[in-house]
């Protein structure tokens, strides 16, 4: 037999029993109770931490979430894998497949046993760097500092105060700074390392603005590096 409950059950635990009545109106004793839990409340937003920057391509993702909930780790909006929060609300996830060397936007969301899915957390940035090849030597050049104050203008993106600016010569990171807003204009002050042994100076090859979610925008750059300050 089946019965459709006409009244909505309230949130929480309910013990359901049944009795049978025959044609002579004899009523049986109640059945053993069957417990039904009504849960329509989504779990809260989980937290997530991960070491960054790192050369580990299978880094540990750690955080807290509702006890027993399934936490999905999202990379750029795509699911990397699930983890289950223990009785203390803690979870750990380690990817089984190595991640790429890149900057990744990481977020998490939780779902409970009833299938309620919570909101996605704010994104954090995970930077995975390449490891040096065995036997590689690193030469310390006689760098001298050069201060650059730059106004940031991009046709598709307006930099905000939490963004990070990275300046490169070739593939070498020479300076990193945080965007400041002055009179409504995004600017950055960079203390750039200049290789004093290069005759005629150097030029910055790439200037990137990186958001807190790890999204990067490349800015046109025509800066000539010379020794001293300007």
38, part of any domain: yes
Number of domains in the chain: 2
Do 155 and 197 have their domain in common? yes
Do 126 and 157 have their domain in common? no
Which residues make Cβ contacts (< 8 Å) with residue 228, sequence separation at least 6?
A: 144, 146
For the entire predicted model, the pTM comes to 0.50
Range of the domain at 114: 34-131
Q: Does the pLDDT of residue 107 top 60, yes or no?
A: yes
- For residues 156-177, one letter each, b for 16 or more C-beta atoms within 10 angstroms of the residue's C-beta and e for the rest, the string is ebebeeebbbbbebeeeebbeb
Do 78 and 157 have their domain in common? no
166, part of any domain: yes
Do 38 and 127 have their domain in common? yes
Q: Does the pLDDT of residue 171 top 90, yes or no?
A: no
Cα distance between residue 95 and residue 78, in whole Å:
13
Is residue 202 within 8 A of residue 169, CB to CB? The reply is yes
2, part of any domain: no
**61 preceded by a cis bond (ω within 30 of 0):** no
136, part of any domain: no
Cα distance between residue 155 and residue 159, in whole Å:
11
Q: Angle 169-174-57 (CA atoms, 0-180°, nearest 5)?
A: 95
152, part of any domain: yes
Do 147 and 104 have their domain in common? no
Structural domain ending residue among the three candidates 131, 153, 174: 131
Percent of the chain whose predicted confidence (pLDDT) is above 90:
50
Domain with 60 in it: what CATH number? Answer: 2.60.40.10
Provide the 8-state DSSP code for 52: S
Q: Does the pLDDT of residue 230 top 70, yes or no?
A: no
Number of CB atoms found within 10 A of residue 207's CB: 21
Chain centre to alpha carbon of residue 215: 11
For the segment 159-176, the average pLDDT, to the nearest whole number, is 91
Element (H, E) at 193: strand 185-195
Do 125 and 149 have their domain in common? no
Structural domain ending residue among the three candidates 131, 153, 187: 131
Nearest in space to 75 (alpha carbons), one of 146, 135, 124, 22 = 124
- State pLDDT tens for residues 192-229: 888 877 777 788 888 999 999 999 999 877 677 765 43
What length is written for the chain?
230
Domain with 191 in it: what CATH number? Answer: 2.60.40
Do 86 and 151 have their domain in common? no
Structural domain ending residue among the three candidates 108, 131, 154: 131
121, part of any domain: yes
**53 preceded by a cis bond (ω within 30 of 0):** yes
End-to-end CA distance of the chain: 86
Provide the 8-state DSSP code for 206: E
Do 101 and 58 have their domain in common? yes
16, part of any domain: no
For the segment 61-69, the average pLDDT, to the nearest whole number, is 96
175 against 11, higher pLDDT: 175
For the segment 27-49, the average pLDDT, to the nearest whole number, is 89
Is residue 41 within 8 A of residue 11, CB to CB? The reply is yes
Do 183 and 119 have their domain in common? no
For the segment 153-160, the average pLDDT, to the nearest whole number, is 92
- Reported confidence tier of residue 160, pLDDT bands at 50, 70, 90: very high
Q: Does the pLDDT of residue 132 top 60, yes or no?
A: no
Least confident of 81-90, 127-136, 150-159: 127-136
């Amino acid at each position: 037999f089946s019965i459709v409950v006409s009244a909505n059950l309230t949130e929480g635990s309910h013990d359901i029993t049944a009795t049978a009545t025959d044609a002579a109106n004899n009523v049986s004793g109640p059945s053993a109770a069957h417990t039904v839990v009504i849960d329509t409340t989504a779990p809260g937003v989980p937290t997530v931490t991960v070491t960054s920057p790192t050369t580990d391509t299978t880094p540990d993702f750690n955080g807290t979430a509702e006890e027993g909930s399934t936490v999905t780790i999202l990379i750029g909006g795509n699911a990397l894998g699930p983890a289950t929060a223990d009785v203390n609300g803690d979870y750990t996830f380690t990817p089984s497949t190595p991640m790429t060397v890149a900057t990744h936007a990481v977020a998490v969301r939780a779902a409970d046993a009833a299938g309620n899915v919570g909101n996605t957390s704010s994104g954090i940035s995970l930077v995975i760097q390449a490891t040096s090849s065995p036997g590689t030597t690193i030469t310390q050049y006689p760098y001298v500092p050069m201060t650059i104050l730059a106004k940031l203008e991009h046709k598709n993106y307006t930099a905000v105060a939490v963004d990070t600016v990275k300046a490169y010569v070739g593939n070498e990171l020479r300076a990193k700074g945080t965007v400041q807003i002055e009179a409504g204009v995004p600017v950055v002050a960079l203390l750039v390392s200049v290789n004093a042994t290069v005759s005629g100076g150097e030029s910055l090859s790439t200037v990137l603005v990186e958001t807190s979610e790890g999204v990067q925008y490349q800015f046109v750059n025509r800066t000539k590096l010379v020794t001293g300050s300007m």
